[in-house]
Amino acid sequence: MNDLLKNTLLRAVHAGADLLRHYFEGTFEIQSKDSLNNLVTEVDKKAEEAIIDVIRAEFPEHFILSEEAGEMSTGSEYKWIIDPIDGTVNFAHGIPICCISIGLEHNGVMMLGAVFNPFMNELFFAERGKGAFLNNRPLKVSNNDQMESACLVTGFPYRWVEVHMDPISVFERFIRMGLPVRRLGSAAIDLCWVAAGRFDGFWEYNLNPWDIAAGYLIIEEAGGRISNFNGDPYSVYDKQTLATNGKIHEAMLKIINTPPTS
């Protein structure tokens, strides 16, 4: 069963990637969702259909949670959590920093995760207890324990009213320390790049389970730490995400939670 689950996951991400490659920098329909710049394209929907078709062919009874289709609830103990394009705004503008992200939960525990950026040919994969990999090469988070020299990545929510902490104030604290902070536009890729040691830490507000599910496991299996902003054990259903190499985690929590000055 485990081999079939893994093979199905990998076939599903490749099925989605085929659609992304086909339409990239081409002509396709683009719509806004709950805000002007929160986009969905016809490619999101077509890639989602292709991914779900692969999963349903092997496991028709499994629960599916996907960004565009929503919940396809069953009584199964397995749940596939799918983002057919993480970084849709990038994709819509011809920016090749976007990916397919799929995680698989079993009884609420993330067991498998894959994130595939076909434009960089980078396939990140993790299996619980067996490590994380980039194109079959083992991944390891960075060894940097100095907050002062950290390289960070973040993102901002489209709808500020839903956020009880001001993301700009937190961002300002980090950049006033002179730290390099990047914004790539894909949370799944951000998480994988922390796992690969390219970044030392990542934080963001108001992410959804499909943004995080695969990257969450990839971070942990690469030796990193992921939590909410209280430092509590993480759930992909949290709305606060901090992922680091583990060595600067407490320092980042302190900075994030510093009360704003009046």
Between CA 106 and CA 194 the distance in angstroms is: 25
pLDDT for 204-220, tens place per residue?
998 999 999 999 999 99
pLDDT at 262 over 60: no
pLDDT at 1 over 60: no
Q: Which residues contact 22 (CB under 8 A, 6 or more apart)?
A: none
pLDDT at 44 over 90: no
pLDDT for 129-138, tens place per residue?
999 999 999 9
Both structure tokens of 96: 């090749």
pLDDT band at 246 (very low <50, low <70, confident <90, very high): very high
Burial letters 45-70, b for 16+ CB under 10 A, else e = bbbbbbbbebbeeebeebbbbbbbee
The dihedral of CA 95, 97, 99, 104: what is its sign? negative
pLDDT for 96-115, tens place per residue?
999 999 999 999 999 999 99
Q: Domains, the chain, ranges and CATH?
A: 2-138 (3.30.540.10), 147-256 (3.40.190.80)
Contact 35, 69 (CB under 8 A): no
For the chain, the average pLDDT equals 92
pTM: 0.93
